[in-house]
Amino acid sequence: MGNMQATLRALTDPIRREILTMLKGGRLSAGEISERFPVSGAAVSRHLSVLKEAGLVRDQREGKYIYYELNTSVLEEVMLWLVELRGEDTEYVEAK
């Protein structure tokens, strides 16, 4: 997998996790993302840069706007890794 450390670090911040949740519904412009948070546009821009560097989002410039969308392949890699880490046996909870 790519840079797992950068990916996991990107996921530690609640604003970045919320951005990923927002992008589940489809691509959004940087402005659309920024207007939903009570922080500066520069702060949201930094969060988007961290997500992009971690490979969690892709961006595309269209005219004067930049649109962001989920990079599902990296998310799938993280999910597979977590499932493998947990182990094959999902029936480990014993009834008492």
Is residue 44 situated within a structural domain?
yes
Number of independent structural domains in the chain? 1
For residue 50, being part of any structural domain is answered with yes
Any domain includes 96: no
Q: Is residue 20 part of a domain?
A: yes
> Above 50 in pLDDT, residue 1?
no
In a domain, 66, yes or no: yes
CATH of the domain at 26: 1.10.10.10
pLDDT digits (tens, 9 = 90+) for 10-46: 999 999 999 999 999 999 999 999 999 999 999 999 9
91 falls within a domain = no
In the chain the first and final C-alpha atoms are separated, in Å, by 39
- Domain range enclosing 59: 4-86
pTM above 0.75, yes or no: yes
- The DSSP letter of residue 25 is T
Give a yes or no: residue 53 inside a domain.
yes
Residue 93, pLDDT > 60, answer: no
Q: 87: which DSSP letter?
A: -
Going 34 to 27 to 53 to 15, the CA torsion angle's sign is: positive
Query: Is the residue at 68 inside a domain?
Result: yes
Average pLDDT over residues 79-89: 81
More confident residue, 71 or 96: 71
